[in-house]
Amino acid sequence: MRKLPRLALVGLVSLWTMVPAARAQVRPYIGYVYPAGGQQGTTFQIRLGGQGQEDVTVVLVSGSGVTAKVVDYYRRLNNQELQLLNEQLKELKRATSAVASARESMMTSPAPPTISATAPEQTSAELGQEEFPRKLIARIESRIREFVQTPAAAANASLTMVEVTIAPDADPGAREIRLATLHGVSNPLPFHVGQVPEFSRKPMLTSTLHVLGKEAQSLRKRPADEIEDRITVPCTVNGQIASGEVNRYRFEARKGQRLVITTLGRQLVPFLADAVPGWFQPVLALYDAKGKEVAYDDDYRFNPDPTIFYEVPQDGEYVFEIHDSIYRGREDFVYRITVGELPFATSIFPLGRRVGERGAIKMKGWNLEEAELTPPAQDAPAGIQWIAANRKGFLSNRVPFAWDTLPECFEREPNNDPAHAQKVTLPIIINGRIGKPDDWDVFQFTGKSNDTIVAEVAARRLDSPLDSVIKLTDAKGTVLAFNDDHEDLESGLNTHQADSYLMVKLPADGTYYAHIGDTARQGGEEYGYRLRLSAPQPDFALRVVPSSVGLRGKSTATLSVYAIRKDGFTGPIKLGLKDPPRGFSSFPSTLLTTQTVARFTFKCDLAATKGPVTLSVVGSAKLGGKEIVHEAVPAEDRMQAFLWRHLVPASDLKVLVFDPSYQPPPRRIARARPPSTNATVGTNATPPAADAKPKFTKQQIAGRLRQLKLLFEEGLLTDDFYEVKVAECEAAQ
């Protein structure tokens, strides 16, 4: 076999570096995280499927108490690279087999006479020579096992393996996780810190594309012993649902236990761009020891993720199962199910208060005995705050709580019609309930001609099941305005923006009535609402999209800023950066009159940043002679069912500035050494005759060299194999 001189080897390998420079930078993307959380005080490995994750450097987790580091990265391979890995694997197995045979022969042959009664031990170098091939074989087999020629979702086909450590005192609840590469920061996905022991199924391989009429060939062939798992409650189970698959969990329960089985599915992967519905729609069922279904849930109220409440009637074994409602599945159909006698709040009342005011908050739910619900801090800003109940150290689900500035009162029954209407003085926020099916609450107020009145319901956005409808009538019963649903870009993941809103100019002095009810004529103790009756309170909120940016050093980047104008506000909104880090500045930008979206451009004078930095975009406007400043909430622009737009909030706006000329040092460098007389790994390459026509084009050879270099730097090829294949490329020119 002819070896290459060092200069020839370096020259050939450098050919491939000209190709990536022309490629456009792709924003890193995470399609799923599995498992999407873990228990306090544990260290474990997760995988993040996505694309554009080459050269991943940092794992970012919001909040404190959670650290993470990259363990490995599996980019999507092509068929040619798979062939190279199979060749390398074959050579390694041949070599290890030969070594094993030689060792066995030595062990079975008559032992030569020795002076010492004790045989010499193997040196560490000898042990290393034997251990290296075994580890490399396992690594290559792992990569080959993960290979899918036609993945169902190419956007999930690259994998980043991450080791996560959660501190024992880390705050439980939802976080955000992102990946940062040399050229940008990914979108965020939820990552949860749990309080109970966790069980995780084996990660799924990337699903293959379904072919019409041959769907069965793409179904997952799960071993029989993995269909059902035995668990001990309380715990959290993590899994992924494949197409047509059902996962089951068996556990022991005692009579009288009040079990809560809660699911996170849609909340972990908010949107699947190529699926209808555009998210994993879990279905949860509970069975007793005889296989009888004793509980079932598809949606928990308006939330696609189901929850089961079940009081155990007798000791014994129980099984719960989960599947997609129409039996779809893929590696990004990720779930977390927590089961146990854990606190869960089904409703609170009132749903909010005036900023700084104190008062009892009534709480309903399961396992809430001796639980304490902590209200928002008195200095918390106006808006929606999130609160939870604490029972013996275990926190319940978080529930939203409105923190407003207007005067408030409570609804008083009976007030079902204008004759019994509750009189109120504007401005006012009324805390009420649609207490029973077909109930209506009516409020009477006095208005003047040409006054503009706003009636706004906050219920669905505060986790109330109420699907409100409101109408405004005069003293004669004439309907002046009516509204069922009102679009709200602040609603995040809500798929049904069911809160009502109307703004109307009163035609004359007199008495008016505001009516509120449920569209489906439902009602109950949990059907709470907050009804605002007031003159317009002009204001605005901002969303900035996307929530991460990568830009070249000493250049500019552009974001989209959405204005959510409230109560008819039409003033200009000036945009800028709040306390920008050194080297960052923005260009003047203004949202004019009724404009709802604008392009916001900022620049960076630095050649690069050491890592991702956090920016804050703010908007300012004049309201009643007073300047109001609001920070734009970072968000991801998502589409539901190819129609509805959702601006899903994120915790931070992350920006990475990179030097495009920077090339990271290779993880491995080929050694151009003389051929070994006892080499066991290699492929003979016979150079063509001098007058032979080249078999491959320069572009094909450059591509081959690029594949070899990537595989070698990923530690998947031995030095000998790599140099032999590069020699073949030279011979083919």
pLDDT of residue 330: 93
pLDDT (mean) for 21-37: 80
Question: Between the CA of residue 568 and those of 481, 535, 573, 624, what are the distances in Å?
Answer: 16, 11, 14, 14
> Quick check: 677 pLDDT over 80?
no
Residues 418 and 530 in one domain: yes
* In the chain, % of residues over pLDDT 70: 87
Contact 615, 548 (CB under 8 A): no
Q: Does the residue 647 lie in any domain? A: yes
User: Which ranges constitute the DSSP H helices of 51-188?
Assistant: 79-108, 124-146
Distance (Å, whole) CA 181 – CA 59: 9
> Quick check: 681 pLDDT over 80?
no
Distance (Å, whole) CA 23 – CA 29: 17
Distance (Å, whole) CA 127 – CA 103: 13
Query: What is the per-residue pLDDT across 439-470, written as a single tens digit (0 to 9) for each?
Result: 999 999 999 999 999 999 999 999 999 999 99
Query: According to the 3-state scheme, what is the secondary structure of 485-538?
Result: CCCCHHHCCCCCCCCCEEEEECCCCEEEEEEEEECCCCCCCCCEEEEEEECCCC
Token pair recorded at residue 602: 């900022």
pLDDT (mean) for 527-547: 97
CB half-sphere exposure, 602, CA atoms < 13 A: 28
Residues 567 and 626 in one domain: yes
pLDDT of residue 349: 97
User: Which ranges constitute the DSSP H helices of 202-342?
Assistant: none
pTM over 0.75: yes
Residues 643 and 580 in one domain: yes
**Cβ atoms < 10 Å from Cβ of 132:** 13
Number of structural domains found in the chain = 4
> Quick check: 525 pLDDT over 80?
yes
Q: Does the residue 572 lie in any domain? A: yes
Q: Does the residue 518 lie in any domain? A: yes
CA–CA–CA angle 525, 526, 531 (5° rounding): 100
Residues 632 and 676 in one domain: no
Q: Which of 637, 657, 677 is the last residue of a domain?
A: 657
Distance (Å, whole) CA 149 – CA 158: 12
Q: Does the residue 316 lie in any domain? A: no
Residue 119: which pLDDT band, with cuts at 50, 70 and 90?
very low
Q: Does the residue 548 lie in any domain? A: yes
Helix, strand, or coil (residue 708):
helix
Residues 350 and 465 in one domain: no
Residues 466 and 576 in one domain: no
> Quick check: 679 pLDDT over 80?
no
- Output the domain CATH number for residue 592: 2.60.40.10
pLDDT of residue 643: 66
- Output the domain CATH number for residue 498: 2.60.120.380
Residues 483 and 520 in one domain: yes
Residues 462 and 550 in one domain: no
Distance (Å, whole) CA 676 – CA 604: 53
Identity of the amino acid at 49: G
Complete DSSP assignment for 353-389: EETT-----EEEEES-TT-EEPPPPTTPPSEEEEE-E
Closest residue by Cα to residue 443 from 453, 360, 451, 452: 453
Contact 480, 504 (CB under 8 A): yes
Distance (Å, whole) CA 518 – CA 438: 7
* Residue 354 bridge partners (DSSP): 404
Distance (Å, whole) CA 528 – CA 457: 10
> Quick check: 597 pLDDT over 90?
yes
Q: Does the residue 43 lie in any domain? A: no
Structural domain harbouring 517: 408-537
pLDDT (mean) for 226-240: 96
Query: What is the per-residue pLDDT across 183-208, written as a single tens digit (0 to 9) for each?
Result: 999 999 999 999 999 999 999 999 98
Query: What is the per-residue pLDDT across 418-435, written as a single tens digit (0 to 9) for each?
Result: 999 999 999 999 999 999
Q: Does the residue 281 lie in any domain? A: no
pLDDT of residue 218: 75
Residues 511 and 412 in one domain: yes
Residues 716 and 673 in one domain: yes
Residue 624: which pLDDT band, with cuts at 50, 70 and 90?
confident
> Quick check: 1 pLDDT over 50?
no
> Worst-scoring range by mean pLDDT, 88-97, 229-238, 433-442, 522-531?
88-97
Q: Does the residue 363 lie in any domain? A: yes
Rounded-to-5 percentages of helix, strand, coil across the chain: 15, 40, 45
Contact 236, 199 (CB under 8 A): yes
Token pair recorded at residue 33: 């995280």
Residues 427 and 379 in one domain: no
Token pair recorded at residue 510: 């007199």
Helix, strand, or coil (residue 279):
coil
How buried is residue 12: exposed, middle or buried, by Cβ count under 10 Å (0-12/13-18/19+)?
buried
pLDDT of residue 290: 95
pLDDT of residue 641: 61
Residue 336: which pLDDT band, with cuts at 50, 70 and 90?
very high
Token pair recorded at residue 620: 């300012």
Helix, strand, or coil (residue 95):
helix
Contact 530, 459 (CB under 8 A): yes
Phi, psi values for residue 286, rounded to 5°: -120, 135
Q: Which of 485, 506, 537 is the last residue of a domain?
A: 537
User: Which ranges constitute the DSSP H helices of 245-292?
Assistant: none
Helix, strand, or coil (residue 178):
strand
Q: Which of 490, 518, 537 is the last residue of a domain?
A: 537
DSSP 465: -
DSSP 185: B
Give the number of residues written for the chain: 733
> Quick check: 637 pLDDT over 50?
yes
Token pair recorded at residue 359: 């008062």
Query: What is the per-residue pLDDT across 649-676, written as a single tens digit (0 to 9) for each?
Result: 999 999 999 999 888 776 665 443 333 4
Residues 567 and 452 in one domain: no
